[in-house]
Amino acid sequence: MEEKDLKQVVKEKYGRIAEQSGEENSCCGGTSCCGPDTTYTVFSESYDKLEGYNPEADLNLGCGIPTEFAGIMKGDHILDLGSGAGNDCFVARALVGAEGRVTGLDMTEPMVIKARENCRKLGYDNVEFVLGDIEAMPFDNDCFNVVISNCVLNLVPDKLKAFSEIFRVLKPGGHFCVSDVVIKGDLPEKLKKDAEMYAGCVSGAADMKQYLNLIRENRFTGVVIHKEKEIRMPENILSEYFDENELRSFQADDSGIFSITVSAIKH
């Protein structure tokens, strides 16, 4: 599948999620990508006790809580990549205070519309949501103190370009902190190429070592993995993509799917 086609799949999938009302979502984006009548929410973490949390903005699409390790300070200007309905932006807003600013970027128009509506209801005048592409951000150089993202960069076809853009828009001395899904070992090609799973968190994920190398190749320093959690997928899901021998092999070696929260600095 071409990059433009992958992006269209993601747009359509997350556009549908944004337009759903009161339905249970997950990193998979509902039930269809995980098999019949299955909702797989093991990636998401609870925001319930965080200041600024707004349940209407939480679509259960994350795989971590990047603001937990982002070192956000009062007065900072924060950029959230793949901001969805605004969940992480509103948590970040509580950290930067009234004197700070938060910008959310998302390429899915229904998500931007939903986030703006949530922001309007909350009455925030220092949070904005922008329609745009992570691989070509509509921002000037050296704009932001901190960039955050939650389970989104794995959906970006050109991750090297994504990290290059993050470096460009960060101020000197700024840093990023992202939660994302990565892979250790090999997954079958049929799983990697499945467009529905691609839009759902797993098939778009890079090898963990490759992922960290992409960060360093973009001149970031001080790379730190703050949190790492193995995603133990139920056998009924894995069996859709592995035969019996492949499944035993996958479970026996170091291969696996992990959520990580990682940060690095632009000097």
Tell me the average pLDDT across 214-242: 87
pLDDT digits (tens, 9 = 90+) for 15-24: 888 988 545 4
Mean pLDDT over all residues of the chain?
86
Above pLDDT 70, what percent of the chain?
Answer: 83
If DSSP states are collapsed to H, E and C, what string results for 53-97?
Answer: CCHHHCCCCCCCCHHHCCCCCCCCEEEEECCCCCHHHHHHHHHHC
Instruction: Please give the model's pTM, rounded to 2 decimal places.
Output: 0.87
Please list the residues that pair with 131 across neighbouring strands.
Answer: 106
Residue 1 has pLDDT above 80, yes or no: no
Interstrand relation of 256-265 and 170-184 (parallel, antiparallel or unpaired): antiparallel
Predicted pLDDT of residue 202: 65
pLDDT higher for 140 or 255?
A: 140
Predicted pLDDT of residue 4: 76
Residue 26 has pLDDT above 60, yes or no: no
Please give the domain boundaries of the chain with CATH numbers for all domains: 3-265 (3.40.50.150)
- Residues with Cβ < 8 Å from 22, sequence gap 6 or more? none
Residue 28 has pLDDT above 70, yes or no: no
pLDDT digits (tens, 9 = 90+) for 84-132: 999 999 999 999 999 999 999 999 999 999 999 999 999 999 999 999 9
Residue 209 has pLDDT above 90, yes or no: yes
In single-letter form, the type of residue at position 194 comes to D
Helix, strand, or coil (residue 233): coil
> Please, are residues 169 and 103 in contact by the beta-carbon 8 Å criterion?
no
Predicted pLDDT of residue 42: 56
